[in-house]
A and B are shown apart, each in its own frame.
Chain A
Amino acid sequence: MAVLSEEQSMLRDAAKAWTQEKSPVRALRGLRDSRSDHGYDTEAWNEMAQMGWAGVIVPEAYGGSEFGFLSMGLILEELGRTLTASPLLASGLAAASALTLGGSEAQKAEWLPKIADGSTIATLAIDDGPHHAPERTALAATASGDGYRLNGRKTFVLEGMAADLLVVSARGPKGIGLFLVRADAAGVNRTRLQLADSRGAANVTFEETPAQALAGGAGLLDQVLDRARAGVAAEMLGSASQAFETTLDYLKVRVQFGQPIGAFQALQHRAAKMFTDLELSRSAVEAALAALDVDSPEAPELVSLAKAKMGDTFHLVSNEMVQMHGGIGMTDAHEAGFYLKRARAAEAAFGNQAYHRDRYARLQGY
């Protein structure tokens, strides 16, 4: 665990206490079973917003606390532990980064305070197809008056149904860039996705939809994506840690052959291996978040490292969680399936392990 400031420790403790009490895994089960439209509990979101979580990376001038990415990561990690569904990552981290880094004074003033207080939900819309390929977007932005018009489609838009504001990547006259689109703008059509992990997402189409450009082009897109990726990795760290701890507890209590199954060396070694992977992953995730906080030139590389390593670890731990629980791990009544499903969705979000291994190599020039 990174050495935390007093503020960060308090933030983490508050997040831990709140998620354990207000948002255990059964909250996600409830959302799933009630077929919630948004994919998260709006009352819970209001409470999170009141605690200031949506403004953690937003500059103070726009109503945020400017605590930074490591602090945001601590909250996301705690949310990940209980698989809490919320728009914090999409809105308070990803979209807030886009506006902070690429927004004009007017755009920031219009949107950031509302994102920071949780009253506006914003999100990124990046991929046209089933695989993360931000550099290949075909969604077209054409100049029109003092703004742009968008035509095309985006898939797998996180919190796409709940969002009031979409930050859309598109191919404009000067190459790829990010564009702001109001969700209620003309020509926006959203279809709710029913995902295996029960979280909220949408496919979105745009037809002659009015949009405003953010400044920064493809470089901005990369920076914004890296913030989103680091955030997903932090959430995955929490989920994988909890999946591991739940499994470890089970190894101590499930008795077969007259002893706890954790007495079998075959399982002990696998638990020890998972612990090893989790420690390596924690270092990678925290290093990525810290690099973003100081705007290090190494950040892209460190983010890809974190997302790839964390992806492999959560993949392994979620599979082992089911396997080590035996038959009960296969039941919907148990939590293991929720972690397993979340693992694959989080792995795929903003580039899976294969994508980030490839990117890591490209960044290093081979």
Chain B
Amino acid sequence: MADLGGADGPAFRVQVRDWLKANYPPELRDPARTDPEAVWGGRAFVGSDDPQSVWMRRAAERGFTAPAWPRDYGGGGLSPAQTRIVEQEIAAGGYRTPLASFGVWMLGPVLLEYATEDQRREHLPKIVRGEIRWCQGYSEPGAGSDLAALATRCEDMGDHWLINGQKIWTSYADKADWCFCLVRTDTAKKHEGVSFVLIDMTSPGVETRPIRLISGDSPFCETFFTDVKIPKGNLVGKVNAGWEIAKRLLQYERQNISGGFGGGGGAGGIAGDLGKIAADYVGLDETGRLADADLRSRITRNKMDFRALQQTIARVAAESRASNGPNAATSIIKYAAAAMAQERSELMVEAMGAQGLGWAGDEYSPLERQAVRGWLRSKGNSIEGGTSEVNLNVIAKRVLGLPDPK
């Protein structure tokens, strides 16, 4: 493996670009030729010759599936600046993400911070290589915004832990190999009774039931744990000290969700310039302006908002590199990005008019059908990873220092 870690700046960029060009499977240029599930990796794709799996494995070998993680655990060992270059080059070349992964985005960073050396060696390399797909067992029917109200029990049985309870809205639980899960180890306390555990989804007593979304897909599940035994070594950090880990992971989750929005997408968003798509459907007047002045002004506002968001993301990144500390503006990003992404999806279907109301069938183009499903899916942007209301509460209380009501 060539040492990419040492180079920097323009030379590094050229190396990355050359490597991507040489190693990207040409079949992936054809969208029909791949299984979208493969992008998420997992046991089902180990050894698969699906071009996406091949791409994932090549990128993993180069450390490009987790560029910033230490080399010891299979990561790229790259600096933040180099990591950005890799991300930029992947985006600029139109290459697919080599691996979409809750393991890379959420679990890995907290394992690096809180796990034992054994736990890191066990789990991180498999995440990097896309061999194990993870899901997130946080929410429960009675514990959504009030996550610390979670009730899934985890009892110490001496040589193992015993898990009983139910999770809900567990994205991809039916496809995941393992689950990082919040459980209650002390019923007398709230936040101080939560622990963070890792559960193999093939363990006896684990059951998942897919839930259909308003967009027609079934990406999330109800997940049931009935007398599930897990080894003692699967608890991360200390017993009853999982809340801090849980919160840290949520920070990574929100950062990542916002990162996706930054490109104008977000889960549900469809690509393309909204202004141009609107022009196709609505037409231009004799002066070259969108024929619907009302829609035009709302589209422009949304595009400007997005631009300001991208500027904010860049500014926050630059400032936190300079000061090496957290930045108050980070707290607004997920909220702002969700609102903008949802508005964009609304404008997209409005611009398409009656063609933006189709569900299925040949009377609608693939883009139109995708816009409708995407619009519906985007409604989740302000719910998943903590709702916008909870986000605003955090800004008001922690950032602005406003008091609680009496």
Contact = CB atoms under 8 A, between A and B. Distances in A.
Interface of A: 127, 129-132, 155-156, 191-198, 203, 255-258, 261, 264-267, 319, 322-323, 326-327, 329-333, 336-337, 340-341, 344-345, 348, 352-355, 357-358
B282 A131 contact: yes
Contact of A323 (B357, B358, B379): B379
Residue among B145, B149, B393 with most chain A CB within 10 A? B145
B356 to A, nearest CB: 7
B211 interface: yes
Contacts of B358: 193-196
Interface string B276-288: 0000011000000
Contacts of A129: 353
Contacts of B214: 322, 330-332, 336-337, 340-341
B372 interface: yes
B376 A337 contact: yes
Contacts of B169: 327
Nearest to A322: B379
Given A197-B357, A326-B144, A131 B281 contact: yes
Given A196-B357, A256-B145, A358-B293, A266 B393 contact: yes
A195 B368 CA distance: 12
Contact of B383 (A197, A255, A264, A330): A330
Nearest to A334: B214
Contact of A256 (B146, B213, B359, B392): B146
Interface in B205-219: 211-214, 216
Nearest to A347: B350
14 contacts: A130-B356, A131-B292, A131-B354, A194-B358, A196-B372, A258-B146, A266-B393, A323-B382, A330-B214, A330-B380, A331-B211, A336-B214, A344-B350, A352-B350
Interface of B: 139, 142, 144-146, 149, 168-169, 211-214, 216, 281-282, 292-295, 349-350, 352-361, 363, 372, 376, 379-380, 382-383, 387-389, 392-393, 405
B350 A333 contact: no
Contacts of B379: 319, 322-323, 329-330, 340
A166 to B, nearest CB: 17
Contacts of B212: 331-333
B89 to A, nearest CB: 35
| Top 3 closest pairs, chain A to chain B, by CB | A337-B214, A130-B353, A354-B294
Contacts of B361: 192-194
A327 B168 contact: yes
B293 A256 contact: no
A198 B216 CA distance: 13
Contacts of A355: 292
Given A323-B383, A358-B294, A131 B363 contact: no
A264 B213 CA distance: 27
Contacts of A131: 281-282, 292, 353-354
Given A257-B149, A327-B383, A348-B354, 7 more contacts: A257-B146, A323-B379, A323-B388, A327-B139, A327-B144, A331-B214, A332-B212
Nearest to A315: B346
A329 B376 CA distance: 11
B354 A130 contact: yes
A329 B144 CA distance: 13
Nearest to B368: A130
B145 to A, nearest CB: 5
B52 to A, nearest CB: 27
Contacts of A332: 211-214, 216
A250 to B, nearest CB: 13
A256 B357 CA distance: 35
Given A196-B359, A197-B357, A358-B293, A266 B389 contact: yes
A357 B294 CA distance: 8
B353 to A, nearest CB: 3
B260 to A, nearest CB: 17
Nearest to A32: B359
A258 B389 CA distance: 17
Contacts of A256: 144-146, 149
Contacts of B145: 256-257, 261, 326
A132 B354 CA distance: 9
Contact of A344 (B281, B349, B355): B349
B235 to A, nearest CB: 27
A255 B149 CA distance: 11
A307 to B, nearest CB: 14
Nearest to A338: B214
A341 B213 CA distance: 13
Contacts of A267: 389
A155 B357 CA distance: 12
B352 A130 contact: yes
A155 B354 contact: yes
Given A327-B169, A340-B376, A266 B392 contact: yes
B359 A195 contact: yes
Contacts of A155: 354
A196 B369 CA distance: 9
Contacts of B350: 344, 348, 352, 354
Contacts of B359: 194-196, 198
Contacts of A197: 357
B211 A348 contact: no
A192 B358 CA distance: 11
A193 B363 contact: yes
Nearest to A197: B357
Contact of A354 (B292, B376, B380, B393): B292
A130 B355 contact: yes
A358 B285 CA distance: 15
Contacts of B149: 256-257
Nearest to A131: B353
A241 to B, nearest CB: 21
B295 A354 contact: yes
A257 to B, nearest CB: 5
A331 B213 contact: yes
A121 to B, nearest CB: 20
Contacts of B281: 130-131
